[in-house]
Each structure stands twice: as structure tokens, then as C-alpha cells.
Amino acid sequence: MKPAPGKTGPNGQPFGPLLLTAREAARLLSLSERTLWGLRLPRVPVGRRQYRYALADLQLWIESRKTNGGPPA
């Protein structure tokens, strides 16, 4: 999951993988793989019964979950 050494994207940030395995995605979100599967996030089929998660989709999910820090509903 580490970016390749010396590679940067257009914004100068380290350039890493665009697609993550379930294990990598779960680790990134601090979840178990089982919980990740239950979230029903968009995924990309890459083979027979193999899927990857787009980093952009994970970032959108994180943004959609943010709150303003008020009391829980």
C-alpha cells in the first residue's frame, strides 16, 4: 500500500495505488474485512470472485460520514 519511491501525482502528493484489495481498504478505514463487505461500498471486479476498492470511492465514503462535531443523534 506504500507509494512507489519517487512517484508523485499532479498535486505533488505521493502517488499510490488507485485500487486497493479488501484487506488494504479495511486497514485504511480501520475496519475488519467483514465490516467492509457489509458496507456495500462500490467495488471493481478484477477477476473471478476478486474485487478491488477505488481509493476515490473510499475517500467519498469518508467525506459522507463526517459530522460537525455536535452531539450524537
40 lies in a domain? yes
8 lies in a domain? no
2 lies in a domain? no
| Rounded distance between C-alpha atoms, residue 48 and residue 13, angstroms | 33
3 lies in a domain? no
The residue range of the domain holding 34 is 19-63
5 lies in a domain? no
Domains held by the chain: number: 1
52 lies in a domain? yes
pLDDT tens digits for range 4-57: 555 555 666 556 778 999 999 999 999 999 999 999 999 999 989 899 999 999
| Rounded distance between C-alpha atoms, residue 29 and residue 58, angstroms | 8
Q: What is the pTM assigned to this prediction?
A: 0.69
Concatenating the DSSP letter of every residue in 6-66 gives T-B-TTSSBP--SEE-HHHHHHHHT--HHHHHHHT---EEEETTEEEEEHHHHHHHHHHH-
1 lies in a domain? no
The pLDDT value recorded for residue 71 is 72
* Short-list 55, 71, 57, 66, CA closest to 3: 55
